[in-house]
Amino acid sequence: MTSIQDSSLRRPLGWPVSTRTEEVNLRRIAFAGLATAAAVAIFLVDAFSPLGLAVAVLYGIVVLMSVSFCDQRGVVLVALGCGLLTLAGYLIGHGADEPGAPLLRALVSLAALAVTTALVTKNQGAADRLVDSERRYRSIFESTAVAIWEDDFTGPAAILARLRRNGVDNLDAHLAARPDLVRQCMSAVRGIDANPAAMKLVGAADKAELKTSLPNILLPESEAMFRSLLVALAGRADTFASETQIQTLHGERRSVLVRATFAPPPQRHQRVLVGVVDLTERTRFERALEEARLELAHASRVMTLGELAASIAHEVNQPLAAVVTNGEAGLRWLDRPVPDIAEVRACVEEIVTQGRRAAEVIQSLRAMSRKGEQQRAPVSINGVVTEALALVARELDGRGVSVLLDLEPGLPDVMVDRIQLQQVVVNLLVNAAHAMELVESRELRVESRLDPAGQVHVAVSDCGIGLSDQVMSRLFTAFHTTKPQGMGIGLSICRSIMDAHGGRIWAECNQGPGATFRLELPVAGSAVP
């Protein structure tokens, strides 16, 4: 059995395990020999010397020594052996005498032995549990998929303390201006240990290589992370976490999540555990997912435009017809014997206005059918609602839908991709128009509000067929539709767009007929994921 101080559990990097085990065994044998010699010496003095002392009390030392080479049961056996030797010593030295002081001494020695053994075994039980928990910790450390480094930051801490003494208040700014200091701190970190997952992540051949790898795996962008870690170390935080990029010793880039845990004082700097999770695969997967989402959103936009094509064509035709009419009228005014310049001017002004209107429709059409990266900017939600309404105005008109607009003026901007948000609102408006196909009164209400929590809300209410429980439960599921020509992806795309913007979309049944779809978005400047 090992004692709690057994340093085989805390061996430094790269120390071969077998050498340590042999050394520990040798130490145990030496202790056992020493304890046996002590027991024999005590027995000889106790049994054969004329000293009138309780020499047998010294057997307690043998019991204490046995902790170094026995487990709990072994210690009890050693104590029993010592008890027998105490009795034997008494019988040899004073067996023939009347019971008196020697018997009393023997009994006191036995009592002392019993108490020592009880205390030692109790203590050893606790020590065994500690060793056991250390073993468990070690096996987790060795087998976990998370790369873990145990580092000594005493060197960097000393550098930071010197800066403080020299009057540096804003450590972060000071270190940002002195990258050489950050590098110096980096080189001053001493690796104590690291697990196999860390070796794998970094691509190190052995722990010795891993020990000196820190300056080589940090990229210029990860130096900022290391700087923040130093600031956290100098402060009071217990942990520090950050996402960053590192490179392996073979030069491959990895996206990682770094989390450092500082031990409680006084070991805060000596034992810093740094866990590193490889996010490369996740980041790649997320990027692919985002691309697929954009593709799908684009496809659905183009589809919606297709559905709206007839009414949009009309929307462009109308101003074009007005341009032609005004052009003809203008020409007629010019052809008069005395051309009426004022009338001609009015015609030309109308041509410009109508031309602009047509251009606007075409521009928003082009924007909607454009495919590209998200472009987030501060956007007025009321503006988005109005533009979306303009796109579907004719469609709504053609279906006999009247629109009631109730937009709160002066709402703060939201940080969104304008086209994607427009797509959400267009989807809701078209769905509402479809839902009212079979009802008499076709009224659509669009509202915008700022709630007390600082979120912007948009509500689109119709008085259509409403939402049955069955439809409600699968509303945002892709490819769920109740329409013969429907695709069922509109709402699922709306939800993914809202999620991507840190917002929400949900539906409610109205008190009266119909349904209300609600959007919620954080205002620009608040924390958006």
Interacting residues with ligand ADP (CB under 6 A): 427, 431-432, 435, 462, 464-465, 467, 471, 475, 480-483, 486-492, 515
Question: Residue 454 in contact with residue 526, Cβ under 8 Å?
Answer: yes
> Out of Mg ion, ligand ADP, none, which partner does residue 481 contact, by CB within 5 to 8 A per kind?
ligand ADP
> Out of Mg ion, ligand ADP, none, which partner does residue 225 contact, by CB within 5 to 8 A per kind?
none
Give the residue with the Cβ less far from Mg ion, 244 or 431: 431
Output the smallest distance, CB 300 to Mg ion, in A: 9
Give the residue carrying structure tokens 């795309």.
493
Q: Report which DSSP code applies to 218.
A: B
Output the smallest distance, CB 435 to Mg ion, in A: 10
Question: Residue 54 in contact with residue 109, Cβ under 8 Å?
Answer: yes
Ramachandran assignment for 479, one of left (phi > 0), alpha (psi -120 to 50 degrees), beta (any other)? left
CB atoms closer than 10 angstroms to residue 232: 17
- Closest residue to bound ligand ADP by CB: 490
> Out of Mg ion, ligand ADP, none, which partner does residue 192 contact, by CB within 5 to 8 A per kind?
none
> Out of Mg ion, ligand ADP, none, which partner does residue 400 contact, by CB within 5 to 8 A per kind?
none
Output the smallest distance, CB 427 to ligand ADP, in A: 6
Give the residue with the Cβ less far from ligand ADP, 512 or 529: 512
Give the residue with the Cβ less far from Mg ion, 175 or 489: 489
Residues near 246 by Cβ (< 8 Å), separated by ≥ 6? 217, 218, 219, 222, 253, 254, 256, 276
> Out of ligand ADP, Mg ion, none, which partner does residue 421 contact, by CB within 5 to 8 A per kind?
none
Of the chain, the end-to-end C-alpha distance in Å amounts to 54
Residues near 528 by Cβ (< 8 Å), separated by ≥ 6? 415, 501, 502, 522
Separation of alpha carbons 325 and 346, rounded Å: 12
Output the smallest distance, CB 493 to ligand ADP, in A: 8
Output the smallest distance, CB 472 to ligand ADP, in A: 9
Give the pairing of strands 443-450 and 402-407: parallel
Instruction: Output the CA angle 444-413-300, nearest 5 degrees.
Output: 55
Question: Residue 6 in contact with residue 131, Cβ under 8 Å?
Answer: yes
Give the residue with the Cβ less far from ligand ADP, 490 or 503: 490
Q: Is 304 in the site for Mg ion (CB under 5 A)?
A: no
Question: Residue 172 in contact with residue 119, Cβ under 8 Å?
Answer: no
Give the residue carrying structure tokens 């496809």.
299
Separation of alpha carbons 471 and 517, rounded Å: 14
* Out of 117, 431, 448, 516, the residue judged to bind Mg ion by CB under 5 A: 431
Contact set for Mg ion, span 487-506 (CB under 5 A):
490
Output the smallest distance, CB 305 to Mg ion, in A: 13
Output the smallest distance, CB 515 to ligand ADP, in A: 4
Output the smallest distance, CB 434 to Mg ion, in A: 7
Give the residue with the Cβ less far from ligand ADP, 399 or 480: 480
> Out of Mg ion, ligand ADP, none, which partner does residue 284 contact, by CB within 5 to 8 A per kind?
none
Q: ω into residue 179 within 30 of 0, thus cis?
A: no
Q: Which residues bind Mg ion (CB under 5 A)?
A: 431, 490
